[in-house]
Amino acid sequence: MEKRVRVRFAPSPTGGLHMGGVRTALFNYLFAKRHGGDFILRIEDTDQTRFVEGAEEYIVNALKWCGISPNEGVGFGDGPHKPYRQSERKELGIYKKYADKLIASGHAYYAFDSNEELEEMRKRMEAAKVVAPQYNNVTRQNMRNSLTLPEDEVKRLLDANTPHVIRLKVPRNEEIRFEDIIRGWVIVNSNQIDDKVLLKSDGMPTYHLAHIVDDIEMQISHAVRGEEWLPSAPAHVLIYRYLGLEAEMPKLAHLPLILNPDGNGKISKREARFPVFPLSWKDPREAEPFIGYKESGYYPEAFVNILALLGWNPGDNKEIMSLTEMASLFDFDRVNKAGAKFDPDKAKWFNQQYLRMQSDESLASEFKLVLESKGIKRDNEFILQFCKLVKEKVQFTKEFWNEGVYVFEAPVSFDEKVMTKKWNPTNKELFTKVYQRFKNLDIWTAVVLHDDFTVAQTELGKIDMQMLRVIISGVAGGPQLFDLLALIGKEETIKRMDHFLQTH
């Protein structure tokens, strides 16, 4: 019988969760939903030196904003496998138990080497022209561990609480193979793998041990993570094997990385000219916060949609999809192997698509907030009409402002090109007459204005619409002119014309 699908997102709280991490969480979530399984959030805080204040809370908030909430785990209500924080699980002694089991079966050993001794070994190896020195089946023979030290000496050191780690005893020249769901068979010779530390001298497990123990204990069916874990996967297979748990080992899926748009490599928060965090992230060690997608004006649905299509596609040409839709379509056989460069332009386009799907009312209430932040108060109907007029010109709500400042504030400058080309005494005379006609209009709607304008042209000759637009708005382009005039209102329109004619 197939195992129930249980997947986990297991970040370490060493900083803000960036978009790559969110994408990993997203694929886990989609896979779980697709198969009616569970999605778990586990916090891998086994490195106390890298702990960052606020990071865990950030991870939880970011997932919530994205709408990809786990149904079990830290910040989302405990489940049957609590606790979900590895530092707390360590207190339960579960990692030690598994490490001891490996010691007992001879697949792990104690190592007493100090940092200095490790450093010396590396230097020696480098002197011998070894580029990447490893603690492995060859070098361990010259180090201080339970494989080289006499038994009673080991016992004495242990009894004296000498600082030590537990290392995995990786066999010599063995072929290790495993099948990755995305990449197929991967084969590595064990000589390439170092004797990984399983339990650190502070008693904490390393990632290698901890995630395996937890995946087993939490009955995880699929371990879905970034490609950066691929090189250590063979070591993980060995650990499962030596624990006698190879049959229960989760299936592995290594996701392609999200790459920088220009140049190459993983996205870096420092160089990027686009947000890399879902929400603004203020690192306690940094002076300036990193602005997030949320604060940049992205809809969470758009953000998540963009991320999903970085490395996955539904097989047809569909691009705009809700989380539910994606979840019904998702599978690993449609996940790419190659890394994907992030395209900030396309991200904006995605947001534009979602903006258009919003109702005018909801856009208006969003934009009302922007106006209020600028100290401008208008009634809801006015804002609604304004939004209707300019919505198809913007990709973000905040752009409503730039797109139509002149609706709220009379222009102080006038498009130079249009002015030099079109403003002349003849036009001044003409627009003075237009001004008079406008003044005498009793009803001020787009339709009436349009009709009156048609009549006016038969009497006065051709009237340049763009010139009128510049007089009213200062800029050369914008929404339908009569709609615009109707929105601005008679009083304000003639006031602006009057002022313009006086000063030009």
Partner RNA sequence: GGCCCGUUCGUCUAGGGGUCAGGACACGUCCCUUUCACGGAUGAAACACGGGUUCGAUUCCCGUACGGGCUACCA
* Residue window 258-277: x/- pattern of binding to RNA, with contact defined by CB under 7 A: -x-x-xxxx-----------
Residues 290-349 that bind RNA (CB under 7 A): 309-311, 313, 315, 317, 319, 334, 336-341, 343, 345-346, 349
65 binds RNA (CB under 7 A): no
With respect to RNA, which residue has the nearer C-beta, 315 or 373? 315
Q: Hey, what are 351's tokens?
A: 């947001």
3-state secondary structure of 18: coil
Choice from 11, 250, 275, 404 touching RNA (CB under 7 A): 11
- Are 170 and 239 in contact by the 8 Å Cβ rule? The answer is no
CA separation for the pair 305, 346 (Å, rounded): 11
With respect to RNA, which residue has the nearer C-beta, 3 or 433? 433
Residues 412-451 that bind RNA (CB under 7 A): none
Residues in the chain: 504
DSSP one-letter string for 391-411: GGG-SSTTHHHHHHHHHHS--
Choice from 330, 367, 453, 500 touching RNA (CB under 7 A): 453
94 binds RNA (CB under 7 A): no
Instruction: Describe the strand order of the beta sheet including 175-180 as a list of residue ranges.
Output: 72-73, 38-41, 6-9, 222-226, 251-255, 175-180, 184-189
Residues 6+ apart with CB under 8 A from 16: 55, 58, 62, 269, 277, 279, 281, 283, 290
Choice from 17, 60, 63, 257 touching RNA (CB under 7 A): 257
Residues 475-504 that bind RNA (CB under 7 A): 476-481
CA separation for the pair 85, 74 (Å, rounded): 7
80 binds RNA (CB under 7 A): no
Is-catalytic flag, 269? yes
Number of residues that bind RNA (CB under 7 A): 83
Residues 347-366 that bind RNA (CB under 7 A): 349
123 binds RNA (CB under 7 A): no
CA separation for the pair 499, 494 (Å, rounded): 8
- Are 339 and 256 in contact by the 8 Å Cβ rule? The answer is yes
Stretch that binds RNA, among 149-157, 238-246, 424-432, 457-465 (CB under 7 A): 457-465
Bridge partners, residue 212, by sequence: none
Stretch that binds RNA, among 143-151, 196-204, 214-222, 275-283 (CB under 7 A): 196-204
Residues 378-407 that bind RNA (CB under 7 A): 392-393
**Residue at 453: amino acid letter:** F
Closest separation in Å from C-beta 301 to RNA = 16
The catalytic position among 64, 269, 398, 422 is: 269
- How far the first Cα of the chain sits from its last, in Å, is 84
Distance of CA 386 to the CA centre of its chain: 32
**Residue at 320: amino acid letter:** I
Choice from 3, 416, 465, 489 touching RNA (CB under 7 A): 465
Residues 207-226 that bind RNA (CB under 7 A): 207-208
133 binds RNA (CB under 7 A): yes
With respect to RNA, which residue has the nearer C-beta, 298 or 502? 298
With respect to RNA, which residue has the nearer C-beta, 115 or 440? 115
CA-based torsion, 151, 156, 161, 164: positive or negative: negative
Stretch that binds RNA, among 5-13, 26-34, 57-65, 441-449 (CB under 7 A): 5-13
Q: Could you list the active site residues?
A: 269
